[in-house]
Structure 1
Amino acid sequence: MLAPAFSAACDEAILVARNEEKVPNTLHLYRRNAPTISMGHFERVKEVVDLEAASRHGVQIVRRMSGGSAIYTDQGQIIYSLLIDRASAPGDPVRSFEMVCRGIVLALEGLGLDPEFKPVNDVQIGGKKISGSAQLRRWGVLAQHGSLLVDTDLDIMCEVLKARKRPRGDMTSLREELGYVPDMEVVKTAIVRGFSSAFGVEFERGDLTEEERDLADKLEKEKYSSPEHTYLR
């Protein structure tokens, strides 16, 4: 599991390395070691976060590199980042979201469920959201990251996000859909297989390169851990 600020820094470090063609198209899977609100780059913290509730529950805040809406993540979620060259994806955002989200759809089908892509950027089961995503196009790279709800605390999510101050009946998780909490490694394997099938490729397991890790360490310290960046707006 990764610290929230370091996980955000890793996404940007991989994007830089992919743009410079130092690494291939990359699928990065991780979990965060603390409950976290991931802010869209252009959002205002006080407009979307209940700061008192976040403090009470020990929820950290990071501002990610992509736009979109704030999301709540905890140890009960698996987060994915897919970083590919832009030429591999449709130019139309909805079509590119659908292309990438197909990896999650196939992963859930592999777990015996019946999901569907819901434009613009969600995956649902029975009309309830189980995965959302955000996208960034920078230089020659398309980056999409999202989360899959496995056993997340939906009650805390609704407390800390102002947009979710309502009954949580429009959300679901693998625990609720399967009737048990699946092993995280089983879910990760399903995600890898889903993306492999969606893109017709085989992913090779790997770690950050030394250059990616050095940049991630720098970005974590100077950017993503910085209150000036987090409370930019």
Structure 2
Amino acid sequence: MHGEYKEPGGKLVVVDLDVEGGALRNVRVAGDFFLEPDEAILQIDAALEGAPAHTDAAGLAARLTAALPKTAVLFGLSPDGIAIAVRRALSGATEWSDHDWQLIHDPAQPPALHMALDEVLTAEVAAGRRPPTLRVWEWASPAVIIGSFQSLRNEVDPAGAERHGFAVVRRISGGGAMFVEPQSTITYSLSVPESLVSGLSYADSYAYLDDWVLGALAGIGVKAWYQPLNDIATDVGKIAGAAQKRTAGGGVLHHVTMAYDIDAGKMADVLRIGREKLSGKGTASAGKRVDPLARQTGLPRAEVIERMIGAFRRRYGLADGSVTADEMARARDLAATKFSSQEWTARVP
């Protein structure tokens, strides 16, 4: 069995192993990490040898921590990362390079249709009828997109939304509200098979699926990191938030909204951002909660998007694609019957 895991900001860890009699055998850990002293690699292998195959990642990490001498120096890897690589080997996880990735970057669409496309495309990936897909969104109109479990009345000021022409829609993933203006936001979705995140905890999968975008941001001069659970942050502020939905058919939807530019006053007029949320972020106003990419990069929005797509393509390969006629027909139906309905939008009043 073979498993790989690259810790965000770290190096690649590769594990090859057998399972005999319910225990790990012939364990070999490798990778492009740094480790001192040399013999510590043998101690890592020995610590995993014979471990029950059902041991979870925390248990495997504990075995590794106990076996390593206090003088050992691990650079680019950790006991937790090694343990995750083992669990991915045992679960038959796939790697990014195992898949032929497809890009969808279509003209602007209405907010409700974007919600529906996420649901349809992820179902198609789960069913094996579509390859794993990176979809970059273009917005036809301003919108507030609330999380699946958020209260409509607690999150949105209806008078403010109407005054500024914002539609309000609810997505299928959890998390917080997205404040979107067409040329001020960068949004993308990853629709992937569950095998890509197999062996990862729910929290770890967030950083794993967005490790590529941290590299893309670094390429345009933005040093960013993942701030658990679902924020992408820099030393001058948050720039993005992620959300996920695991589907019953074995698909994973992971989407991210990045602030390219923002009208803080308008956002405060449309969103009911609670005092508790603001105090928890250590800020006094909504405008200070995000730091847009326009200010940090000085690049046009379209160029930021193209550089992000280019970074993904260089790392994993990416063929240009499109939404099929059948997928679009189903998405339009869902947009009309579900995502535009008051029953869905106000399902948590």
The answer to whether the Cα contact below 8 Å between 1:157 and 1:164 also exists between their aligned partners in 2 is no
Where do 1:110-189 residues align within 5 Å?
110-138=219-247, 139-163=249-273, 166-167=284-285, 168-178=287-297, 180=298, 182-189=299-306
Equivalent position SS for 2:120: helix
Counterpart position of 2:166: 59
Give deviations 1:125-170, integer Å, cap 9, x for gaps: 2141101010111121111111111123232222222126751223
Unaligned runs of 5+ in 1: none
**Matches of 2:342 and 2:147, distance apart in 1:** 15
- Report how far residue 185 of structure 1 moved: 2.8
Counterpart position of 1:232: 347
The answer to whether the Cα contact below 8 Å between 2:144 and 2:169 also exists between their aligned partners in 1 is yes
Counterpart position of 2:318: 203
- The match for 1:7 among 111, 114, 134 is 114
Report the identity percentage. 27
Counterpart position of 1:87: 195
One-letter identity of the residue aligned with 2:216: A
TM-score by length of 2: 0.62
Unaligned runs of 5+ in 2: 1-107, 276-283
Higher relative contact order (CA 8 A, sep 6+): 1
How many residues in Structure 1 have an aligned counterpart in Structure 2? Answer: 229
Quote the RMSD (CA, aligned, Å): 1.6
Residue 78 (1) aligns with residue 195 (2)? no
One-letter identity of the residue aligned with 2:206: F
Counterpart position of 1:218: 333
The answer to whether the Cα contact below 8 Å between 2:294 and 2:300 also exists between their aligned partners in 1 is no
**Matches of 2:167 and 2:289, distance apart in 1:** 24
**Matches of 1:194 and 1:44, distance apart in 2:** 37
**Matches of 2:144 and 2:260, distance apart in 1:** 17
One-letter identity of the residue aligned with 1:77: T
Structure having the higher Rg = 2
